[in-house]
Amino acid sequence: MFKILISALRKLGVPIQSDSSEKIVVNTGWLFFERMLSLLAGLFIGVWVTRYLGPDEFGLYSYVLSFSVLFTSLASFGIDQILVRDLVKFPSKKDELVSTGFIIKAFGAALTTILALIVVSIFDYEKEQTGIFILIVVGSTIFNCFSVVDLYLQSIIESKRIVKVNSAILILFYSLKIIFIVSEFPLSAFVLLIPLEGLIKGLGYLLVFRRNNHKIILSKFNFALSKDMINESWPLILSGFAISVGLRIDQIMLKEYVSLERLGIYSVGVRLAELSAFIPMALMKSFFPRLVSSVGNQNDDLIIKVIRFIFYFLCLIAFIVSIMSNFVIKILYGEEFMDSALILTILIWTIPLTFLGIITNKLLTIKKYQKTIFLKQISLTIVNIVLNLVLIPSYGIIGAAFATLIADLLINFFMDLFLKKARWIFYLKLSGLTKFK
């Protein structure tokens, strides 16, 4: 199957000229398989869960997840891209890098949970269902320390093993959701599935690592290395937080201006749009090791071709989704959620723009320009908040959707022109989008 895909991509002009390029395609294929399985199961089970909970409870569920993301984004300490980069550059230091990354993530999760407890107390949520749910979700980040296994396999472009684990866990937990719906379990049961899934996934990752003769050797933790990683990653920590605020602030702010029912309707559109977000993320996970080499060798042609192919592929998907949005919402969610169709039509066009932001951040990370990444993400968050404050009071959920789209266009594309260290990426993106050979 992958050989047919490789042949087709070569005919389309995609640069696949070596074994390493074929490895990227195969790796991306496995990532796509995982996400497509998640997509199909998510469409079926996710729709069922949404219809079961109804707009009000689904609105509360979405608010809890959105509020929690503000904290969980801090838990990884922003080291993921740095760890992958260093594993590519220094494979002989694998044990030291993996173990140090594991400890950093575990420490970050503990600090994040304490921070969440403080904030929940300030908001006077600690005795409410909302506060309890938030603490459960944030506390589950402790299991994210096992994601260092995934990061290592990304560095050697071998995601196949992790995909198998993720797919098995996905099937297990979607099956549990079906049982919960049929048995008419309360909303709290669905929230408790989140930490349980994190635990099982962490154990699965550890098993994969051990079966391939690898171990997370805690004694290999290097304090000096951890200081270097955190010193380099602090802009990424803050930018990751800024990304989370930018992605979720609309839903948090909407709760203050509209009913939970309208928030639930908006969240359906957001979720469907986000189903397509895995495409640029999966592609960039596979291409990142090659981008490291391309930037080092000043191979701009490869970067331009990657930008062109992925951007216009995502535009095609956005166009198809826009045409079918009303039909999709009516079939999947029913008349009760029909207002979600326009939200989906607007937000799906943020996916190509998000890709431009992702590849910019990847290239800046390779150059070690983390402060520029931080500046961009802070700008995106500020612009998004300002636009939401202006548009939500007058236009409600439609205003929130347009605020996200406009902010993505301004920051993920145009802002690079005005940043000295990112201007070269702006011209690469411009070449990829306008010059065809």
Does residue 20 surpass a pLDDT of 70? no
Confidence of residue 12 (pLDDT cuts 50, 70, 90): very low
Q: What pLDDT shows up at residue 211? A: 83
pLDDT at 119 over 80: yes
pLDDT of 2 over the 60 cut: no
Q: How far is CA 109 from the centre of its chain?
A: 18
State yes or no: pLDDT of 392 exceeds 80. yes
- Where is mean pLDDT largest: 263-272, 346-355, 416-425? 346-355
CA of 165: how far to CAs of 178, 200, 351, in Å?
20, 10, 27
Q: Is the pLDDT of residue 382 over 70?
A: yes
Phi, psi of 235 (to 5 degrees): -65, -35
Q: Contact 166/200 with Cβ under 8 angstroms?
A: no
Strands (E), 52-179: none
Q: Work out the average pLDDT over 44-50.
A: 85
Mean pLDDT of 184-193: 93
pLDDT of 47 above 90: no
Token pair in block for residue 148: 């260092």
52-68 average pLDDT score: 85
Residue 172 confidence (pLDDT): 92
Lowest mean pLDDT among 23-27, 127-131, 226-230, 299-303: 23-27
What whole-number distance in Å separates Cα of residue 95 and Cα of residue 219? 10
Rg (CA), the chain: 21
Q: What is the mean pLDDT of residues 91-117?
A: 89
Q: Work out the average pLDDT over 398-414.
A: 94
- pLDDT at res. 283: 72
Residue 252: half-sphere exposure toward Cβ, Cα within 13 Å: 15
CA distance readout (Å), 298 to 24, 184, 416, 430, 437: 20, 58, 19, 17, 20
| pLDDT value of residue 255 | 79
Average pLDDT score, the chain: 83
